[in-house]
Every structure is written in C-alpha cells, then in structure tokens.
Amino acid sequence: MYKITLSEKDTPKKWYNIAADLPVEPPEYSQTEDGKQLENLPKIFSKGVLGQELSTERWIEIPKEVREVYMKIGRPSPLFRAKGLEEHLDTPAKIFYKREDMSPTGSHKLNTAIAQAYYAKQDGVERLTTETGAGQWGTALSLACKLMGLDCLVYMVKVSFQQKPYRKTVMQIYDGEVIPSPSNTTEYGKKVLAEKPDHPGSLGIAISEAIEVALNDEKAYYSLGSVLNHVMLHQTIIGQEIKMQLDKIDATPDVMIGCVGGGSNLAGSTFPFIKDKLSGDLDCQFIAAEPASCPTITQGEYKYDFGDTCGLTPLIKMYTLGHDYIPPSVHAGGLRYHGMAPHVALLAHEKVIEARTVHQTDVFESNKIFAQLEGVIPAPETGHAVKIGIDEAIKCRKTGEEKNIVINFSGHGLLDLQGYDDFLEGKLED
C-alpha cells in the first residue's frame, strides 16, 4: 500500500477549535495605550473570521459553499507512505506524508484562503488585501478571491518578488494584483523607503502595508495566511483527514512533524491529535521544524509583540524574535516570520509541542534524496519537516522501534527551482 485515499464525501464538515481544549487559558489580545489595534479589527476582518478568532466552541461547522470548493480543488488530499525512503534509510519506522502539495496552488494555504474569501464576500466587501513572502499565500488568496468573486491585492516581500518572478505570474493568472513591498503606495511603505531606498522588505512590513490599505478602504478587508486562531482552525481539516486515513489501517501516529513559519500547517495537521494527547487518549510526539536562520520558538522570547512591523495588529502573546526582526533571505521564504501562532506558541511553552531547527543546506540535501526516492520535490519550507522525519527514522533504525512517523507535506518546490539551482551549484549558504 502506497497511498491512503478518502472519498469526496469524507471531506470534513467541521473545523476543530483547540481553544476549547487548551491546557491553560490563552492570553487575550491587547493593544498599546495610544493605539486602536483592537478597535480596528472589525474594519479589516469579516464578521465570520472575527467570531472564530475568539470562539471557544470546540467544533465549528464548515459552510456548505466552502466545503463544496474544498471538494472542487481536490480534497481530501491523499496520505502517502514513503516506502522508498524507508528502504533507503533501512528503518523499521513507517513514514507517512500528507499531500498538501496536491492543491492547485501547491500548498496547504488554499484551505484557509477559501474560507476567508467566503466570509469576506458574505459581508459584501469587494476586495481582499494581503502580504506574501515566498508567494504561496498570495497565490492561494488570488485563486480563492477569483473563485469567490473578489479582487485581490498582494504586497509581496521585495526580495522574494525578485527571487521568484514566476510566483508573480501565477498570481496574475488568477487576476491578483502584485506590488513589491516596501512600496510607495502606502504611507508606511514610503516611510521605510525614505530611510532605506534599497530595503529588501519583510513579511512584517508587507503586512503593515496591506493593513493600511484595508483600513483606508471600506470595500476592502485584510487577510492573513497564518498566525491567527481562525487560520489554524481552517487548517484542521488536514489533521481530521489524516486521522480518518490512519484509522483505515488501524494506525495511530507516534511522531508528527510540520515545518513552522507562522504555524498553520503544523497546527492544522496536529491539533486534532493534540486534542487526543491532552485527553490522555494518544501518546504522540509533536515536532515543529524551524529554520536555523529564523528560530522563532527555539531562540525567540514568549511575550507580547505585534504581528507586523509598524504596530497595526493587536499585541499577541507568542514566541517572537521582535517585530522589527529582518530575517536573512533564505530560500524557505514561507518560514521567514518573526512570530508564531499564539496557540502553537502556548502549546510549545507548555511542552506539548517541541521545536527543532534545521539548516538550509541540510534541507536541500534531504529534499534531493526525498525527490529521488519518492518522486515529489518538496518545497524548501516542507524540507525542514522532511529532514526531521529522516532524523527520526534513523533513530528508529538504531533503537529498532517501529514508529509511525507522519510528516505534513505542506507544499511542492516546483516554483522554488532557483534555490535548488543554487544548491546544485554549491552556491547555497547555510
């Protein structure tokens, strides 16, 4: 058996909200004394997602229209067994990988983009603004907006805009409008450029620009691709599907791994299992794989910080490297974020989730092995999880343990070939 599939009718009907089951009370969002960050939320987010952001209801129904689009884009996604890799590693462990790369835009991000575009449309707005780093989120939101009949404006981190020209093309195919950030289309962008005309940009700055536009346009909302509770919620269809898939072979996971940028693919794949761990029904290890160059959980502080650089978002209690942190331009652009989803951060702080760092060259090294054995080329982001999965399988070879290792395969790397090219030519920095 190489893959475990589900039928369309198995597409989850509810999202799982971990806020109902957290081991400690999650810290509330807050704002600065002179700031309006909390009051601004209803101006930039739909009623639907704001309600979910603060909800403590355990199961939240997925609107029929959203579930319909989930099926249209190919959900449920298959769970593959990496038999080639197992044999190569000579491990008694079973390695599974959940194929979020099979979404039309190549990553898990469409799962929340569709929901967010749906709720925005419900409120009667005409467009969504957002930021994108590597481009996966901008791509997903551009397609979701197209499917829901909205316009989409994307601020793309300038260094990625230059490194990944084809991402821009994909967004434009879906009619997304793409502006390199920092830009002179916003007050904040102008300020950044005045101080440093050749600024490479960062996710934090691009978020500030996108929020500024949404605040000044009644017909626009802002949309975030990770970090916030409602994004984690929408992604839980991944973990619910994995559960059904493992049930089919009477298996439970012993180790689950996801790479972390803002935390959403890790949260989505693991939260339904963390529920069982917290209730004492499952013994499983949850590992967050982060880049050594942007080590948010392992090196960051657990404290209140802004989600963006300029301070337009509420203060969020999370692991953070500081809201003005400019990470080095590693190829895993999707992992270059200074903060971490508050629910993931809380669970890491409570030691339910553990974090490990991975170096960029090791990522490309193990991705090449994975591609040669399994065929699929992992996204550089995904490669962080693949690397940890390989490490865990090698441990099992040494101990003889027959663990079930589940990697959330967050995306493919077919639009990240520049990084692969640099790697193959030995030009990649660590």
Among 307, 342, 411, 419, binds ligand PLP (CB under 6 A): 411
328 contacts: CB under 8 Å, gap ≥ 6? 293, 294
Shortest Å, Cβ 14 to ligand PLP: 21
The answer to whether 46 and 37 are in contact (CB under 8 A) is: no
Stretch near ligand PLP under the rule CB under 6 A, chosen from 31-39, 170-178, 297-305, 374-382: 374-382
Query: Where is 319: in which H helix or E strand?
Result: strand 315-320
Q: Tell me how far the alpha carbon of residue 419 is from its chain's centroid.
A: 20
Residues of span 212-231 touching ligand PLP by CB under 6 A: 226
For residue 170, the number of C-alpha atoms closer than 13 Å in the C-beta half-sphere is 22
DSSP class per residue in 177-193: EEEEES-TTSHHHHHHH
Residues of span 116-145 touching ligand PLP by CB under 6 A: 136-137
Residue with Cβ nearer ligand PLP (106 or 311): 106
Residue with Cβ nearer ligand PLP (226 or 245): 226
CB closest to ligand PLP, residue no: 411
Residue with Cβ nearer ligand PLP (91 or 382): 382
Site size with ligand PLP, rule: CB under 6 A: 19
Q: Which one-letter amino acid corresponds to residue 41?
A: L
Per CB under 6 A, 265 contacts ligand PLP = yes
The answer to whether 96 and 189 are in contact (CB under 8 A) is: no
Residue with Cβ nearer ligand PLP (91 or 103): 103
Among 48, 182, 201, 261, binds ligand PLP (CB under 6 A): 261
Shortest Å, Cβ 325 to ligand PLP: 16
Cα 423 to Cα 430: distance, rounded to the nearest angstrom:
10
Between helices 110-122 and 136-148, what is the axis angle to 10°?
A: 40
* Binding residues vs ligand PLP (CB under 6 A): 107, 109, 136-137, 226, 259-265, 334-335, 379, 381-382, 410-411
